[in-house]
Amino acid sequence: MHVVGTLKITYDAEVDAAYIYLSPVDERHAVRASLRQPFVWSGPGSDMILDVEDGRKVHGIEILGASACLPEGLLELLRTPE
């Protein structure tokens, strides 16, 4: 996991998926539902999954097909070991 500014972000290059943590990791156990929605700002095959609690509080965002929509410089940073 890398900290970029105040955000914690992980990236798995094998599956080309990134996760942006919007709440502390210890709060994520309370996440009860996922809302899947197309990631409209990228090319074909990229999706965004919002981790939401009771349809109100967003805990994080998973980006599938991350290399199609995240800056290469950020992906390079996330590929390097901490």
CB of 35 within 8 A of CB of 52?
Answer: yes
57-67, pLDDT tens digit by residue?
778 888 999 99
- One digit per residue, pLDDT tens: the chain, 82 residues? 677 667 789 999 999 999 998 877 665 555 555 555 444 455 566 788 887 776 677 788 889 999 988 899 999 999 887 7
Beta-carbon count within 10 A of 51 CB:
21
Residue 14 sits at φ, ψ, to 5 deg, of -60, -40
- List CB contacts of 80: < 8 A, sequence separation 6 or more: none
Domain range for 59 is: 2-79
Tally of structural domains, the chain? 1
Rounded Cα gap, residues 33 and 5, in angstroms: 27
